[in-house]
Amino acid sequence: MKKVFLTFVFALLSVVGFAQTGWAVDPMHSSVNFNIKHMGISFVQGRFDKFDGKVAASKEGGLDKAEFSFFVNTSSVNTGVEMRDKHLQSADFFDAEKFPTMNFESTSITKEKNNTYTLKGKLTIKDVTKEISVPVTYGGITKNKQGKEVMGFQTKFTVNRLDYNIKYDPTGAGVAKDVDVNLYFELAKQ
């Protein structure tokens, strides 16, 4: 009986182990960008230089039933102006010393039409976690020059910074409340 049970457990673990494929972010071919209105007349663009993440997807390919996990290092904010970047790292904005990362963990993904999906999950910025829903455009899977499989996708969405305790200029007159986020990811099969 013990042999039968162990065989069953081994078979189950084998099926679970082969049911999903792991993918890791390739930072050289990915970017985390943002755009925010300034003084109501212009825009400031920026990015985060340090980030990582992974996707666990079904063996069949695509994003059906995939699980996403990403984080961004808040001290890596880069707008091209050192003084502004230091201010963004301060308690007025990201409070990078106290909250070194922003995190996203998926809860579900739904296929829409063609190569688009709706991804739902929990976004944590500072001490606030909120459910968000974002559109994802799936680029597909191909092989790179080294013959390794890579997957690509992108998403664009808007976040109200005040919802995440980023309360500097709460009127939004100087620094807008809404932040446009653009993420472009290429992931390598693990």
In this prediction, residue 58 carries a pLDDT of 82
Write down all domains in the chain, each with its CATH number in brackets.
Answer: 20-189 (2.40.128.110)
Q: Residues 6 or more apart from 96 whose CB is under 8 A from it?
A: 74, 75, 77, 89, 90
- Residue 17 tokens, joined: 């182990």
pLDDT for residue 89 is more than 90: yes
Average pLDDT over residues 98-122: 97
In this prediction, residue 8 carries a pLDDT of 41
Residue 19: which pLDDT band, with cuts at 50, 70 and 90? low
pLDDT for residue 11 is more than 80: no
Residue 61: which pLDDT band, with cuts at 50, 70 and 90? low
pLDDT for residue 51 is more than 80: yes
Q: Residues 6 or more apart from 67 whose CB is under 8 A from it?
A: 20, 55, 56, 57, 106
In this prediction, residue 96 carries a pLDDT of 98
153-164 pLDDT per residue, tens? 999 999 999 999
Q: What is the pTM of this model?
A: 0.86
pLDDT for residue 91 is more than 50: yes
137-147 pLDDT per residue, tens? 999 999 999 99
Q: Residues 6 or more apart from 72 whose CB is under 8 A from it?
A: 32, 48, 50, 51, 101, 102, 103
What dihedral angle (degrees, nearest 10) is formed by the CA atoms of 160, 108, 149, 188?
Answer: 50
User: Comparing C-alpha atoms, which of 51, 54, 59, 62 is closest to residue 109?
Assistant: 62
